[in-house]
A and B are shown apart, each in its own frame.
Chain A
Amino acid sequence: MKYLNQKLIREVKQNWTQFFSVFLMALLSIIVFVGLQGSWKGLESSLNHYISDTHLANYWVQSSSISDTDVCRVKNLSGITNAQSGTRIQTKQGKHHLIIDSYKKPVTKLHVVTGKKYQSTQNGIWINQEYAQAHHLKVGNDLQISYLSRHFSLKIRGIVQSSERIYFTGTREFIAPNYSNYGYAYISPQTLAQQVKYHGPQNVMTIKGYHPQMRHQVEKILQQRLMSYDNRSTLPDVSNAMDRVDEIKNLSYLFSFIFILLAILAMYTTIKRLIESQGQEIATLKALGFSNAKIMIHYASFGLLVGGLGSLVGLLVAPFISWFVLRTQKQMFSIPQWTLAYGWSSLFVVLLVTLICVLAAFLAARSATKGLPAVFLQGTKTTKVHKIILEKWTGLWNHLSYTGRWAFRDIFINRTRTLMGIIGVAGSMMLMIAGIGMPQSMTHLVNKAYNQDFTYNQRLYVNNYQQYQQAHPHAQQWVQISQAHFSPDDGFNRLLIVVGKGHEVHMKTQNNQSIKDGGLYVTHGFAQSAHIKKGDQLKVRTFGSNQQYQFKVKGILLSETNQGAYLTKHTWEQAGGLSAPTTLLVDPNYHYHKRDVSSTISIKEQKKNAYNFVNNLMSIFLLIIVFGVLLIVIVLYNLGSLSFVERLQDYATLRVLGIHKPELRNLVFIENVITTFVGWLLGIPAGIWFLGQYVKTFSTINLEYTPYVNVWTIVISSAFVWLCSLSTTFFVSQRLKKVDMVQALKGSE
């Protein structure tokens, strides 16, 4: 065995490019799968620890008023372990927004970063870490706050994080956190009464526990006072974090699937070919008296060496990738403790990759050890050659040159090799289209939302609609946004948006119609998950009212943001709905008085915020593109070079017969172009389909992601794949220069 091992090492050295490529493919597969798993599992476990350590609530309710009886009734529901009412007020600290909650006994425990624990008997304020960081606030500082027209100063007692605000956007108008502009804080009920001088009713309730009919119960208890109801899957502050885990998880599974499939395919072919080229050696070993088992074990150790080594190095590198991805997520999510975590499936993939390498080596060696050594020593090839279907088409076939016939027969006869080549190219196209298409789809979503669907310059939050309307009867365009319970629906409350006259809202239906009077328009994502079709009757009850209205669904809107429903003010009022819009969408030159408006948001801010959101994911997409590109280069190079090596002898013969090098190179190109073309052609629809699946994994209750493929995605992907494939042929055909004609005369290997 000692000599066999020496032989092993020498052969690895001799064929090091092939070995290195298998090593790299094993390495890349492991890095991608384990690396991404480390990050989503890490995010998941960081989240889970945080959630359980802080006893995160399960339901959140906003209401115009909440009494102790209401709280009691909720507490008495089966499965509910705790319910607390409190008060939420929107205050300002200078130009910035500070949302202050006041609970006697908060359900969700606050995580204290520095300073004192939250106590309802203590005065002062507890402020969130990110806001404090953005404004260099420290424990002991005094904070100047204004509420309505009152101003007061509160001492910072503690810097905190709340698991109710893992992803805190401040308002639904933003899809990404904006920590410097929006903060949240906690004060005791005492402080609320004495310093803020708030004497209104309590307006929020947090609930811990599980009740199967919670939505219905809350509606029953609070009736028309109910303003919003959320659970962990709908509260964006929490659901975004949970959804992100699933997003990265699905993405990693989906992507790794193609990735590992491609890598396995190329590894298998490479190893198999490498060992098949050792046919004579194997025959010699057999002739010398080595047992089949010994020979197979010897060659299987090739696979183990290279596959195992690649996997091992991959395992060592993967945590860096996990950490890199998690670091990008740290900017978005407010979680005190970040950890990496891995699951058994990582081990499974490591074993799978190694096993495939061993198996490829083993099977190839086994087929080589079958039969008598003499057959192999003679070096006769035994490919079954036959006529192919194409030949039935005699008109075409007879017009084909002999080299053309040769190429086509080889393509049809060496089905595995051809299939590998086609899958390699098609898989590469899929990776490229999905890799490029994903960030493009996201960017497209932002552009469509803020350049096409909405064209306002600013959103004004008007203090008093009636007054403002009387003073400015021509002000446009009013929108009224409220949470609503649609029936039938998919179990989640959504937004009903009533749009007034104006020209700032432009979203179109599937039939390219804009929103018109006479019915309800449901967004596509909502329609899909609640199985709503055009023509259906939909009941709607907006929160804050007890009235239920029924509308006919007039169209399905292609709008990605804010999954819910739209209708015109006219239709709303005709049905008996009360008009009380608070938002005025205005053009750039619109003049207004500061005193009429409580706050404003510009579309520019929204767009910038949305781009932040996209950019946060960009590093993951980029990572995937980089690894994808690496893999594509290796896979295509390998498959190309293998099919070249397999025909080297024939090429040498042709050289002896007097074919010129450029002619031979053309021949090699033709063969490659045929497989590349087929793979490419199949790869385009497959890639678009894959992108669709890939993009879907990012959709949430509130946002629907749709695949967006433009010509450039296809052009760039195609260009890259063709470039890789053709340059492989080019590089490989450089070896034609060194084709040893003398060798060809000595008979086959």
Chain B
Amino acid sequence: MIEFKQIDKDYSVGDQTIRALHDINFQIETHKLTIILGPSGSGKSTLLNILGGMDRPTRGTVQFNEQNVASLNDHELTNYRRNLVGFVFQFYNLIPSLTALENVAIAAQLTKNDANSLKYLKQVGLEQRLDNFPNQMSGGEMQRVSIARALAKQPQLLLCDEPTGALDSRTSLKIMKILQDVAKTTDTAVVLVTHNPDFEQYGDQVIRLRDGQVESISQNDNPLAIEGV
């Protein structure tokens, strides 16, 4: 469904060039949870940003269906993000003065599909909290709102950058379960970035990064299903 072909990403800092990504090739499929694993500074976020249309690669193509995302202009990239991609951030990035429901609804409105925002809050188990503001919720709850917000757009691609980075392990598992379910039960492909090797077992596909290069890609036909959280 989406394919990285010979992606390079260079950053220039002063007169130095930092190669954050080098010759990256992989594919992402619908109904699968892809986990991108690597130590800090290995280029995970850079990769995800290119995938999500927030940044462009220096070289290479990002093939999404028939089009090359890497060659889109700013307006087209915005439409790509708006209509096809959902994001979940490490620090949730909810709008503080909108309630849980409104945070979801504002995203749903962007894609102009009259999605029922409530449905997505139910999907993440927050139907009790829809009138609460972000500062009245716990980190895990906020992250679930953030996921609901991403899902409300009914994206083809759900990208999560260290979504559990600021959460305790029990809450983290809860989030992982939700993401796993999304990958399994909807038409949305899920990509999750983490530095935590414990999560490897939950992915259908695991891409390991080191120093900006792909170390290995492994397919997992029987990922561990998370139960009872």
Chain B positions 98 through 115: 1 when the CB is less than 8 Å from some CB of chain A, otherwise 0: 100010011101110000
**Interface residue ranges of B41-97 to A (CB < 8 Å):** 45, 49, 52, 54-55, 74-75, 78-83, 85, 87, 89-91, 93-97
Find the A residue at minimum CB distance from B101: A402
- Is B161's beta carbon under 8 Å from chain A? yes
**Quick check: B95 and A658 within 8 Å, CB to CB?**
no
Bound together, the chains give a CA A116 to CA B80 distance in angstroms of 95
Chain A positions 727 through 749: 1 when the CB is less than 8 Å from some CB of chain B, otherwise 0: 00000000000000110111110
Bound together, the chains give a CA A654 to CA B98 distance in angstroms of 13
Most chain B beta-carbon contacts within 10 A, residue among A382, A655, A658: A658
**Quick check: A649 and B81 within 8 Å, CB to CB?**
no
Q: A385-B134, A405-B102 are in contact. Are A379 and B81 (CB under 8 A)?
A: no
Chain B positions 128 through 141: 1 when the CB is less than 8 Å from some CB of chain A, otherwise 0: 00000111100000
- Is A656's beta carbon under 8 Å from chain B? yes
Find the B residue at minimum CB distance from A657: B107
Bound together, the chains give a CA A653 to CA B107 distance in angstroms of 11
**Quick check: B135 and A385 within 8 Å, CB to CB?**
yes
**Quick check: A402 and B135 within 8 Å, CB to CB?**
no
Most chain B beta-carbon contacts within 10 A, residue among A379, A653, A655, A746: A653
Find the A residue at minimum CB distance from B132: A385
Q: A656-B54, A658-B85, A745-B161 are in contact. Are A406 and B93 (CB under 8 A)?
A: no
**Quick check: B97 and A744 within 8 Å, CB to CB?**
no
- Is A573's beta carbon under 8 Å from chain B? no
Q: Please indicate the chain B residues that have their CB under 8 angstroms from the CB of A384 in the complex.
A: 135
Q: Please indicate the chain B residues that have their CB under 8 angstroms from the CB of A230 in the complex.
A: none
Closest CB in chain B relative to A512 CB, distance in Å? 54
From B45, B78, B85, B134, A745 is in contact (CB under 8 Å) with B45
**Quick check: B54 and A742 within 8 Å, CB to CB?**
yes
- Is A580's beta carbon under 8 Å from chain B? no
- Is A587's beta carbon under 8 Å from chain B? no
From B80, B87, B98, A657 is in contact (CB under 8 Å) with B87
Bound together, the chains give a CA A357 to CA B153 distance in angstroms of 47
Q: Please indicate the chain B residues that have their CB under 8 angstroms from the CB of A386 in the complex.
A: 133
**Quick check: B97 and A659 within 8 Å, CB to CB?**
no
Q: Please indicate the chain B residues that have their CB under 8 angstroms from the CB of A748 in the complex.
A: 91
Chain A residues touching B, range: 20 to 34
Closest CB in chain A relative to B165 CB, distance in Å? 9
Closest CB in chain B relative to A45 CB, distance in Å? 57
- Is A410's beta carbon under 8 Å from chain B? yes
From B54, B83, B90, A741 is in contact (CB under 8 Å) with B54
Bound together, the chains give a CA A401 to CA B45 distance in angstroms of 33
Chain A positions 413 through 430: 1 when the CB is less than 8 Å from some CB of chain B, otherwise 0: 100000000000000000
**Quick check: A660 and B78 within 8 Å, CB to CB?**
yes
Chain B residues touching A, range: 35 or more
From A405, A409, A654, A747, B91 is in contact (CB under 8 Å) with A747
Q: Please indicate the chain A residues that have their CB under 8 angstroms from the CB of B134 in the complex.
A: 385
Most chain A beta-carbon contacts within 10 A, residue among B79, B83, B87, B166: B87
From A658, A659, A742, B83 is in contact (CB under 8 Å) with A658
Q: A742-B55, A745-B161, A748-B91 are in contact. Are A406 and B98 (CB under 8 A)?
A: yes
**Quick check: B75 and A657 within 8 Å, CB to CB?**
no
**Quick check: A658 and B135 within 8 Å, CB to CB?**
no
Find the A residue at minimum CB distance from B46: A742
**Quick check: B161 and A658 within 8 Å, CB to CB?**
no
**Quick check: A402 and B109 within 8 Å, CB to CB?**
yes
Bound together, the chains give a CA A406 to CA B99 distance in angstroms of 9
Q: A656-B81, A657-B107 are in contact. Are A649 and B49 (CB under 8 A)?
A: no
Bound together, the chains give a CA A745 to CA B166 distance in angstroms of 13
**Quick check: B82 and A658 within 8 Å, CB to CB?**
yes
**Interface residue ranges of A370-429 to B (CB < 8 Å):** 378-379, 381-386, 401-403, 405-406, 409-410, 413
Q: Please indicate the chain B residues that have their CB under 8 angstroms from the CB of A742 in the complex.
A: 45, 49, 54-55
- Is A650's beta carbon under 8 Å from chain B? yes
**Quick check: A745 and B90 within 8 Å, CB to CB?**
yes
Find the A residue at minimum CB distance from B102: A402
**Quick check: B133 and A402 within 8 Å, CB to CB?**
no
**Interface residue ranges of A640-685 to B (CB < 8 Å):** 649-650, 653-661
**Quick check: A383 and B96 within 8 Å, CB to CB?**
yes
Q: Please indicate the chain B residues that have their CB under 8 angstroms from the CB of A381 in the complex.
A: 96, 135
**Quick check: B98 and A660 within 8 Å, CB to CB?**
no
Bound together, the chains give a CA A745 to CA B49 distance in angstroms of 10
Closest CB in chain B relative to A703 CB, distance in Å? 55
Q: Please indicate the chain A residues that have their CB under 8 angstroms from the CB of B149 in the complex.
A: 657
Closest CB in chain B relative to A197 CB, distance in Å? 93
Find the B residue at minimum CB distance from A411: B97
Q: Please indicate the chain B residues that have their CB under 8 angstroms from the CB of A659 in the complex.
A: 78, 82, 110
Q: Please indicate the chain B residues that have their CB under 8 angstroms from the CB of A744 in the complex.
A: 89, 93
Q: Please indicate the chain B residues that have their CB under 8 angstroms from the CB of A649 in the complex.
A: 93
Q: Please indicate the chain A residues that have their CB under 8 angstroms from the CB of B93 in the complex.
A: 649, 653, 656, 744-745
Find the A residue at minimum CB distance from B98: A406
**Quick check: A650 and B81 within 8 Å, CB to CB?**
no
Q: Please indicate the chain B residues that have their CB under 8 angstroms from the CB of A382 in the complex.
A: 135
Q: Please indicate the chain A residues that have their CB under 8 angstroms from the CB of B75 in the complex.
A: 660
Closest CB in chain B relative to A117 CB, distance in Å? 81
Most chain B beta-carbon contacts within 10 A, residue among A381, A402, A742: A402
Q: Please indicate the chain A residues that have their CB under 8 angstroms from the CB of B161 in the complex.
A: 745
Find the B residue at minimum CB distance from A383: B96
Find the A residue at minimum CB distance from B88: A745
**Quick check: A658 and B45 within 8 Å, CB to CB?**
no
**Quick check: B98 and A405 within 8 Å, CB to CB?**
yes
Closest CB in chain A relative to B139 CB, distance in Å? 9
Q: A741-B54, A745-B89 are in contact. Are A403 and B81 (CB under 8 A)?
A: no
Bound together, the chains give a CA A46 to CA B52 distance in angstroms of 75
Closest CB in chain B relative to A391 CB, distance in Å? 10
**Quick check: B95 and A653 within 8 Å, CB to CB?**
yes
Give the top 10 A-B pairs by smallest Cβ distance, nearest first: A658-B82, A747-B91, A658-B81, A409-B97, A402-B106, A385-B133, A653-B93, A741-B54, A745-B89, A410-B97
B residues within 8 Å of A by Cβ? 45, 49, 52, 54-55, 74-75, 78-83, 85, 87, 89-91, 93-98, 102, 105-107, 109-111, 133-136, 149, 153, 161, 166
A residues within 8 Å of B by Cβ? 378-379, 381-386, 401-403, 405-406, 409-410, 413, 649-650, 653-661, 741-742, 744-748
Excluding A385-B96, A657-B107, A659-B82, 11 further A-B contacts by CB distance (< 8 Å) are A378-B166, A379-B91, A384-B135, A413-B97, A653-B93, A653-B94, A657-B106, A741-B49, A742-B49, A744-B93, A746-B91
A-B contact pairs, 19 of them (CB 8 A): A385-B96, A385-B136, A386-B133, A402-B98, A405-B98, A410-B97, A649-B93, A650-B95, A653-B94, A657-B81, A657-B87, A658-B81, A659-B110, A741-B49, A744-B89, A745-B90, A746-B90, A747-B89, A747-B90
